[in-house]
Structures are given as C-alpha cells and as structure tokens.
Amino acid sequence: AQKVTQAQTEISVVEKEDVTLDCVYETRDTTYYLFWYKQPPSGELVFLIRRNSFDEQNEISGRYSWNFQKSTSSFNFTITASQVVDSAVYFCALSDVTQGGSEKLVFGKGTKLTVNP
C-alpha cells in the first residue's frame, strides 16, 4: 500500500529563517509522481510542484527548493528566508498512476508552518 509520512506536525520559525519540511513515502510502483501542495489559512489548495520518479534532479523555484532522494524515499521541501506569507499547512502527496488512466493522490497528514515576524 502507498503511504506518505510527514513526521513534523507543526513547525514554528522566525521570519528569514530557513525551514525544511520532511516527506517520506512508500510505494511498490516504479512509476509514480510526488507533489507538494500549500493550504493557506483561506483554505484553498495551491499546487507547488510535481516530480516524477525518474527525475531525481533537485528543483529550485525562487525561495523554494525540493530535494528528491529515491534511495531514502524522501521528497523534502525547503523554504529559504521564510516570510510570514509562507504560513500555511503543507501537504506532500504521492500519485498512484495505474493502468486505465486513473490518477489518485495519497496525501500525508500535513505540516503546519507558522512564520512569526
């Protein structure tokens, strides 16, 4: 069975600190996708990144970066120089791409990040 573990339930930092959100996944599939979503206090889900299992290149987008390591089944997310607007719940998710065209996400329980001024 597929599983996503976000061991950090809540993290609190002071503005401008760097913070890393951990994500560990379990799957027997060789082809899969990993995602990060942000859920700000307003409640909507904001897509941040998708990574497929064949691409282990790290990705950087502005202050955000992602470290994908298949050897440890991890897909960690780092925010550099955090800002108050980064305060949100962050979800890591794994996609089960099965035959027939289905695409189902398995979500972690989320990490609530609070950035204090």
Binding site for other proteins (CB under 8 A): 4, 9, 33, 35, 37, 43-45, 47, 50, 52, 91, 93, 95, 97-98, 100-110
Shortest Å, Cβ 79 to other proteins: 19
Of 16 and 104, which CB lies nearer to other proteins in the complex structure?
A: 104
Of 76 and 95, which CB lies nearer to other proteins in the complex structure?
A: 95
> Per DSSP, what are the bridge partners of residue 55?
none
CA-based nearest residue to 86, from 107, 60, 116, 57: 116
Contact 116, 63 (CB under 8 A): no
CA-based nearest residue to 89, from 39, 18, 24, 23: 39
Shortest Å, Cβ 65 to other proteins: 18
Of 15 and 74, which CB lies nearer to other proteins in the complex structure?
A: 74
Looking up tokens 């799957």 gives 27
